[in-house]
Amino acid sequence: MNTDPQAEAAARLAAIHSGIARACRDAARRTPPTLVAVSKTFDAATIRPLIAAGQRHFGENRVQEAQAKWPALLAENPDITLHLVGQLQSNKAAEAVALFDVIHSVDRPSLVTALAKAQAAAGKQPICYLQVNIGDEVQKGGCALPDLPALLAQARSAGLTIAGLMCVPPAAREPAPYFALLAEHARRLGLPGLSMGMSSDYQTATLLGATMVRVGSALFGARG
């Protein structure tokens, strides 16, 4: 058991990078996906060793939690890119635009409107992904597949920068068919970005074309 936090963070990071490299080899891919380290629920002291190990993309799922811990970390490390991977309420759009460089969870017309207003006011343009409810689950966030072309058109005419699609497949199901379906829709819409894959399935997502994988527990340990 490794008890030095710095060595342990570096080892976990290296393990994910080699998993990504393996999947890239299997898929004959040259460019690996960007690894987003999802640090939700973990404090600055836990995040710092991963930054020291070279990780530069981090993700959070709550605006308020990110506001509490990231301004200080960003002041220490101005080259970090911060991603919002969780559901966003329209009334938090301005705060999200102020803090995050990339927003993965744009999923409905009212949020598009709120983000467009917020980015105009802030003079700042985060890169956005449209989140798709790929398993058509009742309780889950994300745009329904049939509504996706209209949401994309609205987002573009409102001035949002849409880089691609994002999904979280249904839990406890084989994720590959959902990743393939998301990739197919991105291709049809001409969108290059694919934010998909988490700790348990980032290699599968990489095989199927993910350009960003979002890995939390495999880097930070189990969430309490």
Ligand X SMILES: *Cc1c(COP(=O)(O)O)cnc(C)c1O
Our finding on whether 46 is near ligand X (CB under 6 A) is no
**In this structure, is the dihedral angle defined by the CA atoms of residues 103, 85, 132 and 183, taken in order, positive or negative?**
positive
List Cα–Cα distances, 132 to 41, 136, 162, 174, 183, in angstroms: 24, 9, 13, 17, 11
Do 100 and 136 touch, CB atoms closer than 8 A? no
- Distance from C-alpha of 106 to C-alpha of 115, rounded to nearest angstrom: 9
Task: Write out the two tokens for 85.
Answer: 């991977």
Our finding on whether 33 is near ligand X (CB under 6 A) is no
Our finding on whether 199 is near ligand X (CB under 6 A) is yes
Closest CB to ligand X among residues 63, 215:
215
- Distance from C-alpha of 194 to C-alpha of 213, rounded to nearest angstrom: 9
Our finding on whether 209 is near ligand X (CB under 6 A) is no
Question: Per CB under 6 A, which region of 94-102, 156-164, 180-188, 213-221 contacts ligand X?
Answer: 213-221
For residue 170, the SS3 value is coil
Cβ of residue 197: shortest distance to ligand X, in angstroms? 8
Question: Per CB under 6 A, which region of 6-14, 74-82, 177-185, 215-223 contacts ligand X?
Answer: 215-223
Cβ of residue 123: shortest distance to ligand X, in angstroms? 28
Our finding on whether 198 is near ligand X (CB under 6 A) is yes
Return the percent helix, strand and coil in the chain, to nearest 5.
45, 15, 35
- Distance from C-alpha of 160 to C-alpha of 107, rounded to nearest angstrom: 13
Q: Which of residues 9-28 bind ligand X (CB under 6 A)?
A: none
Question: Per CB under 6 A, which region of 14-22, 91-99, 180-188, 208-216 contacts ligand X?
Answer: 208-216
Closest CB to ligand X among residues 108, 214:
214
Binding residues for ligand X, total number by CB under 6 A: 13
Question: Per CB under 6 A, which region of 9-17, 142-150, 154-162, 211-219 contacts ligand X?
Answer: 211-219
Helix (H) or strand (E) holding 103: strand 102-106
Chain centroid offset of residue 9 CA: 20
Our finding on whether 50 is near ligand X (CB under 6 A) is no
- Distance from C-alpha of 133 to C-alpha of 35, rounded to nearest angstrom: 22
Our finding on whether 216 is near ligand X (CB under 6 A) is yes
Of these, 33, 49, 86, 193, which contacts ligand X (CB under 6 A)?
Answer: 86
Our finding on whether 217 is near ligand X (CB under 6 A) is yes
Under the rule (CB under 6 A), what is the footprint of ligand X? Answer: 38, 40, 61, 85-86, 168, 198-199, 214-218
